[in-house]
Structure 1
Amino acid sequence: MQSSKKRVLLNICIAAGITAVIMLMIAALFDYYFDLNDDVLMKDLLSGSYIGKPAAHNIQMLYPISALISLIYRLFRKTNVYGIFLCLCQCSCMFMILHRTINLEKDTIVKFIAVIAEVLMYIGCLTGHLIYVQYTFTVAMMAGTAAFLVITGNGKKNRALVCIILWISFLVRSEMLLLMLPIAGMAWGYRFISDFGEEKKKEIRTIYIRWALVLFTGLIICKGVDVLAYSSDRWTEFRKLFDSRTELYDYQTIPDYETNRDFYESIGLDEAEVELLFNYNFGLDEEIDSKTMLQVAEYAKSIKEETPMPQRIKAAFSKYLYRLHHFSLQESFEYPQTDAPWNIIILIMYLSICISALSRKKDSFIKIAFLTALFVVRSLLWMYILVGERDPIRITHGLMFAEMALLLGIMMNNISSNSWKVHIRTGLIFVSVISAIYVPNNMTISQMEAVDRKRVNEPYLELYEYIDDKPENFYWIDVYSSVSYSEKMFANTDNSLDNFDILGGWACKSPLQTTKLEAFGFEDIQSSLLSSNVYFVVKSEYSTDWLVSYYNNKGIDIELSEIDMVADTFKIIKVNEKR
């Protein structure tokens, strides 16, 4: 009994130690970044730097997890809780896979091979995503880990752990978890088929039905609490605007004014107001509300020259086939997109499992049928995102991580079988070799990305230092002048109220922005820009003619005075009403 406890503790320490070494190595070589501005704004909302106090309504996350993180921020005001949360989720995923692998295999040599393969996969595939952290990919890691645990675990504790992981994933990024659910569902199906072949079939069926009911009941409750939390009139109105804005900017093209003048006049928008849609500074105009945004989005969709669906499917399928076998090294962190070594590793895993299954006559048909079904499911998911033309690496790499985790679970679940051991061990060795080959490339690309981000960030850091040094003023920043900045996670954490905001973005016109305006004594953005201590920030190469035209069309004659230049990049402009 004592020996068993020592073994359990030792396995935990080994898995935790390996995970810690990986993360410490990355921390020693790189700075952690929020990959996108979305995560930066979410951090600002949760931490209180946006409205002066931690906000439980995070807009992008579901309310329960958002409220919990904001509560922790209230307890630790000077800490980057959101960044720690994302990194902790990623570390936990790596730890859980390593720990389960170490627990499963008794053969020391096989255990060593499996652990080395997993470590090299982490470094060879995940390095960039562990440095440039994004909540969408983090959710994919959690979903993939849940799939691995489903296949490799037993008992109530394992089922409860899987439910908790999937519930947290759903709360963090519900859309991504729903995209990952078919993969998790295939893992559940594999385990059900495996267990159902044993005795007590009725009992097994009852256990799995209850498991599914508990999981989906939890998801429904999470969504229900979120719906209730956003049920007020102000939040309902904003969510309509948010959905219409997403449709217009992410999936449609804004119609130009001259060609579509009649439409714009019919909904009460003039040329200067339409220009605000193009440059994303629509927060300046109070008339651009949810109804107007919906009308523009629907009109844009109605006049869009859609490629016939058969042609889109054909083009997407051709791209899908190419990405299955395109094995070149990465040239940069995201574009041009390269799926290697992910696709190579997945191919090796499929082959090793197929060969192992064929060498075992007993249930080879079931295993091959399952792999075929899994490949069909993954192909449908890929076609869905390729046809929709929304395939950033945070989604595609997320899909591949979940698939890899599932296949790894099958390999580890069968590695002790005498008829499988040789083939699985060989497959893991090949996975290790391929991963090791790509480690230098992954490190180089990550370093190139770090250098590039540092270069791009330098003028922004000067700008934000300039703004921070003048707390008596307020600064409205042109949206496209703000988008290139990527914030370091754990450098100079300051969660005090920011005396700036951007003129658009996905939090624009939300109740939270209204709270921010009220905190500085403003009624709206348009009138606030004319206040004595308010300034407009724009990159030096961008025109400001649109701003003058907008106010002139509102019957307000203004003049712009450049009062400062920051980092030879940003103009600080005073907007004055002519008397």
Structure 2
Amino acid sequence: MVLTKLGTLYRKWENWILPALFVLILLLLLGLRFDYYYDLNDDVLMKDILSGVYTGAFESRNVQMLFPLSLILSFVCRIFGTSYVYGLFLCVCQFGSLYVILYRSMRFVTKTMGKATLGLLESLLFAALLLPQLVFVQYTVTSGLLTAAAIFWFLTGKKAEEEKCAGGFLKKNLPPVLLCILAFLLRPEMLILLLPLAGVAGLWKWAEERPVFTKKNAACYLGVFGLILAGLLIGQAANGIAYGSAEWKEFFRLFNARTEVYDFKTADILKYEENKEFYDSLGLTEEEAALLGNYNYGVDDRIDAGLMERISAYALEKEGYFGKSLREGIWIYKARLSNTPGLDFDAEQEFPFLLTEAVLIVLLLLAAYLGKRAALLWQLLLFGGVRSVLWMYLILRNRVPVRISHPLYFAEIVMLAAWLLHYLKEGQFTAKEKLSARRWLNPVYISVILLFVTAFSLLPRSMEKTGEEYASREWINRTDTAARVYYRSHPENLYLADVYSTVQFSEKMFRDGETHLGNYDLLGGWLCKSPLAEKKLEAFGYVSLEDALVNGENVRLVSLKGESWEWLEAYFRERGLVIRVIMEERIPGGTEGNELEVYRLQKEEIS
């Protein structure tokens, strides 16, 4: 009797339960094999801001994500008194996105065995493509996965003609709208990058309506777009209000100019000798310009928003908005499509995405051919055109890191996979009367077999690469872990680290859950000179980094073993101060050959 009731309950909720099982299995296997890491120290700093580690208070503004979301996360951190909140949020979003894709796929299969096969296939593909991103978590990637899940939900939903009114269609598509808004609040740039692909998905589906152009269809499809746009505008408006003070506006002028200089321009712009005339016109000496080159510009109070904007304008004038010519960009784009090694991207890392995408396009063409659906040709041409524009933009802007390229690839794959499911269902190839006498010609079987072969061929290397990266991070981050222990054991000091000495460090997501004020910071970085950075310095009795270095008795400097501080001594000497940087001790417990050293500043009288 009990088994009968459980069986009935399972059949009722099968489409919810099976995806949950596959996601939980994936989560369990990864958790047993690896610990979850923040991919970059950007996420570590955002976590520290939200959880009180940075300033000693649970801050609701963490600069990188929009205010409504950071407000909620900081509030939850305050309630539970742990820094785990941010990491848990990212993991829930990532695995939740995979769950959404699995759940929406179940409606295309009727029998339990078919659902289980499809769930297994998709889970294997997730692991083959996204294993590093699932273990080494980064908020930009998370935003991309949320957007991909939203596109998949929309494409696998019912047509407008199947709903009685536009309101029903909008209600059914409220989840993808909310996913897009959440992705935007988490990382606005990623959602905006993927929005054109979402627009292509909308055109694909709208074109399937019969008739196409009706008031109801316009209300349905434009209504979904309108809801997304309204959510984005509300989120942006709330963010503008939250950062509306003069101090925050001044910081964002600096932040935006810094982003243009450091993220989109070549390093040659920051070299003094090659740009001497320009830096002289700014009144910057070679010693002061060196602070820009090593990213420790927080040392100099003169480097403010106005000066950074002038550097940004100079970089724009010298290199242009796009860092590469159109001809060069086209050549690089073709090389990426052909997975040519030796360029400024990891061809081995991108191969799984390119192969999966190529397999899906071949399967789509086969399904369309057998189903006599010529419309696929213009749909793929539109898709190819839009994706080419997006990739060309990133290439020409010199901005194609893995955390951007891989979510973009995944969104493309999700779109193609959703449309393949749509074509297979619309063609009713699984119906007995439609089956070929030679069953191997059935596109459903071909799709399943070919995609399983693809997943199994890619998965071993994905596991191997993730294992290698995990071992590397464990080795590198022993130094960072030792440093955090050392800082806590000397609470009387404020430790200021050279930016590039710490850029390689990340952190385990669920390490200690600390929320108390950390007595360490960087000499530069994206949060430098912000109201939050000033608040942190005030907690230690200083008004700026320069004030701390000149007047602080309890200030210590930190850098990797062997790094020179001559640039800092030269900077102060040029300003009429004799300050020597003297090695005090090496932080114990670090990785051999990658240790951090602590330095004290000795002030001397000018003879």
Structure 2: give runs of 5+ residues left out of the alignment: 159-168, 431-441
**How many residue pairs were aligned?**
569
Q: Decide whether the 8 Å contact of 1:352 with 1:424 is kept in 2.
A: no
TM-score normalized by the length of structure 2: 0.89
Pick the aligned partner of 1:217 from 230, 247, 259: 230
1:317 aligns with 2:343: no
> What letter is aligned with 1:319?
I
Report how far residue 339 of structure 1 moved: 1.5
> What letter is aligned with 1:553?
E
Pick the aligned partner of 1:365 from 371, 374, 379: 374
Q: Decide whether the 8 Å contact of 1:93 with 1:145 is kept in 2.
A: yes
- Report the more deviating stretch, 121-130 or 460-469: 460-469
Report how far residue 107 of structure 1 moved: 3.9
Q: Decide whether the 8 Å contact of 1:327 with 1:340 is kept in 2.
A: no
Report how far residue 196 of structure 1 moved: 4.1
**2:398 match:** 389
Report how far residue 197 of structure 1 moved: 3.9
**1:158 match:** 172
Provide the C-alpha distance between the structure 1 equivalents of 2:220 and 2:8, rounded to a whole number of angstroms. Answer: 28
Q: Decide whether the 8 Å contact of 2:488 with 2:519 is kept in 1.
A: yes
Q: How do 1:328-477 residues align onto structure 2 when only pairs under 5 Å count?
A: 335=346, 338-361=349-372, 364-418=373-427, 420-421=429-430, 422-477=442-497
- Report the more deviating stretch, 421-430 or 265-274: 421-430
Pick the aligned partner of 1:185 from 188, 191, 199: 199
Report how far residue 110 of structure 1 moved: 3.9
Provide the C-alpha distance between the structure 2 equivalents of 1:576 and 1:327, rounded to a whole number of angstroms. Answer: 53
Q: Decide whether the 8 Å contact of 1:557 with 1:578 is kept in 2.
A: yes
Report how far residue 306 of structure 1 moved: 9.4
Pick the aligned partner of 2:287 from 272, 276, 291: 272
**1:503 match:** 523
Provide the C-alpha distance between the structure 2 equivalents of 1:305 and 1:281, rounded to a whole number of angstroms. Answer: 26
1:519 aligns with 2:544: no
Q: Decide whether the 8 Å contact of 2:339 with 2:347 is kept in 1.
A: no
**1:203 match:** 216
SS at match of 2:349: coil
Q: Deviations over 1:64-103 (max 9, x none)?
A: 1111111111111124111111110011111111111123
Report how far residue 417 of structure 1 moved: 3.9
Provide the C-alpha distance between the structure 2 equivalents of 1:372 and 1:256, rounded to a whole number of angstroms. Answer: 44
1:86 aligns with 2:86: no
Q: Decide whether the 8 Å contact of 2:47 with 2:83 is kept in 1.
A: no
Pick the aligned partner of 1:300 from 303, 306, 315: 315
Provide the C-alpha distance between the structure 1 equivalents of 2:140 and 2:239, rounded to a whole number of angstroms. Answer: 19
**2:67 match:** 63
Provide the C-alpha distance between the structure 1 equivalents of 2:326 and 2:281, rounded to a whole number of angstroms. Answer: 36
> What letter is aligned with 1:573?
Y
Q: Decide whether the 8 Å contact of 1:113 with 1:429 is kept in 2.
A: no
TM-score normalized by the length of structure 1: 0.93
> What letter is aligned with 1:387?
L
Report how far residue 62 of structure 1 moved: 0.9
Pick the aligned partner of 1:243 from 222, 236, 256: 256
**1:11 match:** 15
Report how far residue 481 of structure 1 moved: 1.1
Q: Deviations over 1:263-306 (max 9, x none)?
A: 32332212211111111111011110001111122223333499
SS at match of 1:415: helix
Report how far residue 558 of structure 1 moved: 1.7
> What letter is aligned with 1:503?
L
SS at match of 1:416: helix
Alpha-carbon distance change, 195 to 483 in structure 1, aligned in 2, over 3 angstroms = same
SS at match of 2:209: helix
> What letter is aligned with 1:212?
F
Alpha-carbon distance change, 57 to 534 in structure 1, aligned in 2, over 3 angstroms = same
Provide the C-alpha distance between the structure 2 equivalents of 1:56 and 1:264, rounded to a whole number of angstroms. Answer: 37
Report how far residue 256 of structure 1 moved: 2.9
Q: Decide whether the 8 Å contact of 2:323 with 2:397 is kept in 1.
A: no
Q: How do 1:87-102 residues align onto structure 2 when only pairs under 5 Å count?
A: 87-102=91-106
> What letter is aligned with 1:264?
Y
Q: How do 1:163-174 residues align onto structure 2 when only pairs under 5 Å count?
A: 163-174=177-188
Q: Decide whether the 8 Å contact of 2:367 with 2:423 is kept in 1.
A: no
Pick the aligned partner of 1:551 from 572, 592, 595: 572
Provide the C-alpha distance between the structure 2 equivalents of 1:52 and 1:132, rounded to a whole number of angstroms. Answer: 27
Q: How do 1:9-158 residues align onto structure 2 when only pairs under 5 Å count?
A: 9-154=13-158, 155-158=169-172
Report how far residue 462 of structure 1 moved: 1.6
Alpha-carbon distance change, 257 to 428 in structure 1, aligned in 2, over 3 angstroms = same
Provide the C-alpha distance between the structure 1 equivalents of 2:223 and 2:382, rounded to a whole number of angstroms. Answer: 24
